[in-house]
């Protein structure tokens, strides 16, 4: 599919600048040249709605977005485990968490009816989604399956 010479875009979560890396150069040590921060931080990114759209469009790395709400009990276990998940999937994927209580319009926009819902994006497109109670182990297996 992708040619070996193809670059992979990585978006900085702080300043939203986009960097193109050779695939083998994408590591957790990559930094943003503008703000100096690490591009992979070992925890889920918390993005604003516009920022999310930018990252979905620009990121060459598959992005796993978890849509949740603190009002939903089913979300509590999953969100607790997200940090561990981020550590295990970076840098081949990045993890984003979207609190729908803070951005209620996003649920309609994304067609989300059950929380938590986890959506995998790449190159601006939705590749897969899963909803409901998910354990870290189930998530690990799911991400391994959809990214294979």
Which residues contact Zn ion by CB under 5 A?
A: 12, 14-15, 32, 34-35
What is the distance of C-alpha 44 from the center of its chain?
A: 7
Distance of closest approach, residue 121 Cβ to Zn ion, in angstroms: 20
Distance of closest approach, residue 58 Cβ to Zn ion, in angstroms: 13
DSSP 60: S
Q: Which is nearer to Zn ion, 19 or 68 (CB)?
A: 19
Q: Which is nearer to Zn ion, 31 or 101 (CB)?
A: 31
Residues 37-61, buried b or exposed e (16+ Cβ, 10 A)? eebbbeebbebeeebbeebbebbbb
Q: Which is nearer to Zn ion, 38 or 103 (CB)?
A: 38
CA dist 77 and 57 (Å) reads 29
Distance of closest approach, residue 16 Cβ to Zn ion, in angstroms: 7
């Amino acid at each position: 599919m992708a040619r070996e010479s193809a670059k992979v875009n990585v978006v900085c979560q702080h300043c939203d600048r986009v960097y193109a890396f050779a695939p083998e150069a994408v590591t957790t040590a990559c930094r943003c040249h503008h703000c100096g921060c690490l591009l992979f931080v070992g925890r889920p990114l918390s993005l604003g709605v516009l920022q999310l759209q930018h990252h979905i469009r620009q990121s060459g790395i598959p992005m796993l977005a978890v849509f949740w709400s603190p009002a939903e009990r089913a979300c509590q276990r999953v969100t607790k485990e997200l940090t561990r998940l981020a550590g295990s999937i970076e840098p081949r994927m990045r993890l984003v968490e979207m609190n729908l209580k803070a951005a209620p319009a996003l649920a309609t926009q994304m067609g989300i009816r059950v929380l938590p819902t986890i959506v995998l994006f790449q190159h601006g497109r939705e590749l897969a989604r899963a909803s409901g109670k998910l354990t870290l182990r189930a998530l690990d297996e799911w991400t391994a399956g959809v990214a294979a």
